[in-house]
Structure 1
Amino acid sequence: MGLIQRLAGIAGYEKRSDATDPSWAAIAPGIGWPAALSARAAESLSTVLACSTVIASSLASIPALTYRREGDDRVEALAHPLRRIVRNGVNDLMSWPDFLEHLIVSTLLTGNGLAEIVRGSSGLLQGFRFIPWGMVTVAQLSSGRLAYDVTDGRGGARRLLQYEVLHLRDRTDDGLIGRSRLSRAADTVAGVAASNQFARTFLDRGAAPSGVIEMAGVLTDPQRTALREQFRARHSGAANAGSTLILDGGMTWKAASISPEDAELLETRKFGVEEICRLFQVPPPLVQDYSHNTFTNSETAGRWFAMFTLSPWARKIEAEFARTVFPASGPYELELDLSGFLRGDPATRWANHKIAIDAKVLDANEVRELEGWNRRPVETTEPEATGDDA
């Protein structure tokens, strides 16, 4: 009997036929879909897209290691299926970095990232299948556990039970379903979107004219239209830049200046970048905002990002794998090794290696393994010949 069948037979676990459970409506149907729609709209803001991408791609790029506890020791579990999945991909269509990036971005933008845990008939872990949150409806069953109804976009639907999915959540209001930080700070996001929309309208429609032609007297409508069209044909566009303006009939040209309110538009949009970065806890230099950047604080920003942004998310992912993927009483655990960020900083990485060797925390061969090199054979020295040996 496989693991899934055994779990289904244990008292307290749900059966898939619980589709008519009276508590199905405990959580509103379609709860993920409005969040997904607002997330897609929010990604049109470049800072939202950049912040979610830098967090997800950074966590997806670091080594993911599977360990086994043996008493007080911890050794890497080289034979565990998760190690193969990390190296070869979570399924035929998605690599491990792609999978983790999708899961984290979904959690950042909708508050929830969901993946089906794929197991064989014997219960052995075979992979994962990412599920867009907009395709999910959640129900709380009479047992108190959650069930997930997943649509396939073609009219089909299937139910996944709580022990069959990996559910990564942002902070929740009820302890069950994560809530998007975009919805928590809806006014902030709406304000940035409004400033972007104003800028686009300003540029598209020319909210302020570049100049005014003044003359004495009154033009008829045909004269005004002819003058406007003639002026636009001869002096508008890049091809007519710098052309000489000739006026007659007492006409004069007066350049129009942008109002102070319009001049503040650029500063408003710059402040919007900082607001979104604050929302995702991403240092602005990491999303190409260098307005307050120096060589010193850019290096500090990288460390800050690893400590206060990536580390909490890495711990959340590790805890979710321990809760759902590995057996509750098993010795296995996942670790996202944040030291992988030192790959791009060889000076700091080798300085750390030297400190570890000098303090006898690591030896030279262990450092070589960390760098992906083969162990160096242990050198043996021949004993010196003595007089008796001679």
Structure 2
Amino acid sequence: MKLLDAMAARLGYEKRSGADPSWAALAPGIGYHAGLSARAAENLSTVLACTTVIATSLGSIPALIYQRDGAGNRIEALGHPLARITRDGVSEAMSWPDFIEHLVASTLLTGNGLAEILRDSAGQLSGFRYIPWGMVTVAELASGRLAYDVSDGRGHRRRLLQGEVIHLRDRTDDGLVGRSRLSRAAETVAGVQSSNQFANSFLDRGMAPSGVISYPGTLNDDQRIHLREQMASRHEGARNAGRTLVLDGGMTWAASQISPEDAELLETRKFGVEEICRLFQVPPPLVQDYSHNTFTNSETAGRWFAMFTLAPWARKLEAEYARSVFPAGSALELELDLSGFLRGDPQTRWAAHKIAIDTGVLDPDEVRQIEGWNPRAGVRSDDGKEAAIS
């Protein structure tokens, strides 16, 4: 059998390995499903908010293409096809920010984000096509490479190989296919979902009268109907708020309230928000949970988010582009510029710029470039710096 496999491989045929990592990733409780599907998990507002704030933030970050010269200096490669793609869009149907948002959100929810690398007839990079992970089956070939069988939803399948796709992964168990953090903490996610279901059931079916009228005797049907109609006409609704209630015949009124707080429902749901934020490493203020927030720590939360949430994902994207898009051994690299998130308040930022200029680390035109401004008219730097700025 090994001889036949070797002969088939030489002819261009490759065989699936016995263990298909994709099916393990798609099994209930792992990968695309985490007790509940990733799409269903987005019904949890905190899951949706966490994935959205990470994905949209990464999509909004400037993407810069650099090439290193022989001395190791980096020069921005404005003429590279990827630089054009980041400006004009990955295809006619999708912009660069939308593409990054889709790719990252899929990875956060399913553990994997996939996109086909498009090239023209000359082999030049021309764009990317996002592929929903639910339409992909992964096979490990006899050569050890991965193959991605992509369905178009109409019964047709085509195969893509490594080098033809960008495959962004969350942490993996087998080194091949990512596993979603929703599945790793399936019990936590299920607990938050259960508290939401209980809250909905409580609101839909729970009986919570505002008060009780007691009568020492027994009302007949007509008296009961008359009392109900009188209460409805004189005391229900906003227009009747505050009207004096008059009772006779020995009737008494006692206020009654069954609140979600009494059932500790609200506290449970608040804790669920914090639990989901832990899974995605998102500070709660960024998903509109201000229960422990102050003006000071909200600013700190933004920088914390950039350093410990966005920076690792940006590095994953940069490494995947270096591995899959740029030629092996090339001096090209993609950089997602996080400096805008890390600048801090204007006073601190400009104080840092002044220190950099006074110590000779930066010149004024370089500071202007950092701030997104053109060089000052009539002021020229040396040739190397001018080339880098232009």
Q: TM-score band (shorter)?
A: 0.7 to 0.9
Show the counterpart of 2:145.
Answer: 145
- Partner residue, 2:76: 76
What is aligned with 1:110?
Answer: 110
Of 20, 28, 40 in structure 1, the residue corresponding to residue 23 of structure 2 is 28
**How many residues end up aligned between the 2 structures?**
368
Equivalent residues of 2:86, 2:96 under 8 A apart: yes
The superposition leaves residues 337-371 of structure 1 with CA deviations (integer Å, 9 ceiling, x where unpaired) of: 11022578433333332222122122112222233
Is the CA contact 2:235–2:243 (under 8 Å) kept in the aligned structure 1?
Answer: yes
Q: Is the 8 A contact 1:62 1:337 kept in 2?
A: yes
When residues 30 and 292 of structure 1 are mapped into structure 2, their CA distance, relative to the original with a 3 A threshold, is closer
Aligned counterpart, 1:7? none
Aligned position for 1:128? 128
Alignment RMSD: 2.9
Q: Name the residue aligned to 2:56.
A: 57
Contact 1:36 1:134 in 2 (8 A): no
Q: Report the CA distance between 1:83 and its aligned residue.
A: 0.4
Do the aligned residues in 1 keep the contact of 2:68 with 2:332 (CA within 8 Å)?
yes
In the superposition, the TM-score normalised over structure 2's length comes to: 0.85
How big is the shift at 1:318? Answer: 0.6
1:368-388 Cα distance to aligned partner (Å, 9 max, x none): 2233333232379xxxxxxxx
After alignment, is 22-31 or 141-150 more displaced?
22-31
Q: Is 1:332–2:332 an aligned residue pair? A: yes
Q: Can you list the C-alpha shifts for 1:183-231, whole angstroms capped at 9, x where unaligned?
A: 1111111111222222222222334322212112334567656655664
Quick one: structure 1 residues 379 and 306, their matched pair in 2 at CA, closer, same or farther if it must change by over 3 Å? closer
Match of 1:273?
A: 273
Q: Which runs of 5+ in 2 are unaligned?
A: 1-7, 382-390
Deviates more, 1:203-212 or 1:338-347: 338-347
Name the structure 2 match of 1:8: none
- Of residues 104-113 and 355-364 in structure 1, the stretch that sits farther from structure 2 once superposed is 355-364
Aligned equivalent of 2:216: 216
Partner Cα separation in structure 2 for residue 83 and residue 274 of structure 1: 39
> Match of 2:347?
347
Structure 1 residue 149, shift from structure 2 partner: 1.6
Q: Do the aligned residues in 1 keep the contact of 2:303 with 2:344 (CA within 8 Å)?
A: no
Contact 1:35 1:134 in 2 (8 A): no
1:202/1:28 Cα in 2 relative to 1: closer, same or farther (>3 Å)? same
Question: Measured at CA, do residues 194 and 351 of structure 1 come closer, stay the same or move farther in structure 2, by a change above 3 Å?
Answer: same
SS of match in other structure, 2:23: coil
* Residue aligned with 1:138, SS: strand
Q: Separation in 1 of the partners of 2:336 and 2:327?
A: 19
Give the aligned partner of residue 384 of structure 1. Answer: none
**Cα 1:174–1:213 shift into 2, 3 Å:** same
The aligned runs of 1:159-174 (5 Å cut-off) are 159-174=159-174
- Corresponding position of 2:306: 306
Q: Does 1:378 align with 2:379?
A: yes
What SS does the corresponding residue of 1:143 show, helix, strand or coil?
coil
Q: 1:359 — aligned with what?
A: 359
**Aligned pair in 2 of structure 1 residues 23, 142: CA closer, same or farther (>3 Å)?**
farther
TM-score (norm 1): 0.85
CA distance 1:28–1:221, change in 2 (3 Å): farther
Specify the SS of the correspondent of 2:67.
strand
Larger CA deviation: 233-242 vs 314-323: 233-242
Deviates more, 1:43-52 or 1:245-254: 245-254
Shift of 1:313: 0.8
Contiguous gaps of at least 5 residues in structure 1: 1-10, 381-390
Task: Tell whether the 8 Å contact from 2:111 to 2:178 is kept in structure 1 after alignment.
Answer: yes
Q: Retained in 1: the 8 A contact 2:147–2:160?
A: yes
Q: More displaced, 155-164 or 304-313?
A: 155-164
- Percent of aligned pairs with the same amino acid: 73
CA shift digits 1:68-97 (9 cap, x unpaired): 121221111111111000011111111111
Mapped contact 1:285–1:301 kept (Cα < 8 A) = yes
Q: Contact between 1:23 and 1:139, CA under 8 Å: does it hold in 2? A: no
Structure 2 SS opposite 1:253 = strand
**Whole-angstrom distance in 1 between the partners of 2:50 and 2:102:** 14
Whether the aligned pair in 1 keeps the contact of 2:195 and 2:269 (CA below 8 Å) is yes
Residue identity in the other structure for 2:293: N
Give the AA of the match of 1:68: Q
* Mapped contact 1:201–1:207 kept (Cα < 8 A): no
CA distance in 2, matches of 1:227, 1:195: 38
SS in 1 for 2:262: helix
Name the residue aligned to 1:40. 39
How big is the shift at 1:59?
Answer: 1.4
1:254 aligns with 2:254: yes
3-state SS, counterpart of residue 163 of structure 1: coil
Amino acid in structure 2 at the alignment position of 1:136: V
What CA deviation, in whole Å up to 9, does each residue of 1:123-147 have, x standing for no partner? 1111111111111121112222211
Deviations along 1:237-275, whole A, 9 cap, x unmatched?
A: 445433443434432221113368635222221111111
The code of the aligned residue for 1:166 comes to I
